[in-house]
Amino acid sequence: MTAEIIDGHKHAQILLDNVAGELDRLSCTPGLAVVLVGDDPASHIYVRSKIRMARKLGLRGETKILPGGVTEDELLSVIATLNAQADIDGILVQLPLPAHIDTLRIMAAVDPAKDVDGLHALNAGRLLHGADSLVPCTPLGCLKLIKSMVSDLTGYHAVVIGSSNIVGKPMAALLLEERATVTQAHIHTRDTQFICRGADILVSAVGKPGLVRGDWIKPRAIVIDVGTARVARPEGGYDLRGDVAFDEAVQIAGAVTPVPKGVGPMTIACLMANTVKAAKARLARLH
């Protein structure tokens, strides 16, 4: 028996259809601004995808492209301007930032009400407290994919490999809020293979191709592969590979996300949902 392949595009479209319905009922057109620093090709591709989807849905999408040598104060000034713009509901600063920029300081400068990436400390704290907040898009998308397989996660053992502020930590918090029992593994964890073999739900967000082998996976487990890395082909070009050895995983798992076409589409769909959520909250404050 082979695992069910979780179609990220299909589930993203379901979410986008719901977002489109909410947009039809709004009295304004929400605005999303993406700030991009430098000329990293992958970042430019990601940003174009986000803005393209925003405009396709009917959102106002704009990109602020800054040179790689921009100073921290100049970047903070751009964010302050966007914070003050009434027609901008969501602000996303594309990561990673150049090494000379203090990422935490930049995240802290974004208005928490416009923080559609969910990375401001206030939103992170609200998530840990189980309060309503803007949640980081990738872990939110992962949770939606998991719940498309199992609606009630009470008592399930979930293992999250990775402890970043972007995916690992908020992923663990979301799973805890769903009443799962959560184990968080990271680079210093011992016996990671053994820990993973007990997981009903396994989420890997490391970016190391093929890290999770078939014999790491509990039979019938739900496996969510967040990792994405470019692997060069001998003949030139590259392939996108995830953390999970996919061909092995499908022989063991109950359900698994592919790379690409798994978590990626859900990340963008959740960004659109967060932008509309931020716009609705702004309108509610005005009334």
**Segment 282-287 long-range contacts (CB within 8 Å, at least 24 positions apart):** 282/89, 282/113, 283/26, 283/27, 283/28
Report the C-alpha gap between 31 and 239 in whole angstroms.
34
Tokens (6 digits) for 269: 């769909």
Q: Looking up tokens 């082979």, which residue turns up?
A: 2
Report the C-alpha gap between 70 and 68 in whole angstroms.
6
End-to-end CA distance of the chain: 55
Candidate list 50, 64, 114, 218, residue with the active-site label: 50
Active site residue 24: no
Please count the other Cβ atoms lying within 10 Å of the Cβ belonging to residue 154. Answer: 9
> Exposed, middle or buried by CB within 10 Å (0-12, 13-18, 19+), for 208?
middle
Length reported for the chain: 287
Residue spans of beta strands (DSSP E) within the chain: 4-5, 31-37, 60-66, 90-93, 157-161, 181-185, 201-204, 222-225, 229-232, 238-241, 255-256
Q: Answer whether 222's CB lies under 8 Å from 201's CB.
A: yes
Active site residue 117: yes
Q: Are strands 90-93 and 157-161 parallel, antiparallel or unpaired?
A: unpaired
Candidate list 89, 111, 115, 117, residue with the active-site label: 117
Dihedral sign computed on CA atoms, order 23, 18, 152, 166: negative
State the Cα torsion 185-189-191-196 to the nearest 10°: 0
Candidate list 94, 114, 115, 243, residue with the active-site label: 94
Active site residue 144: no
Catalytic residues: 50, 94, 117
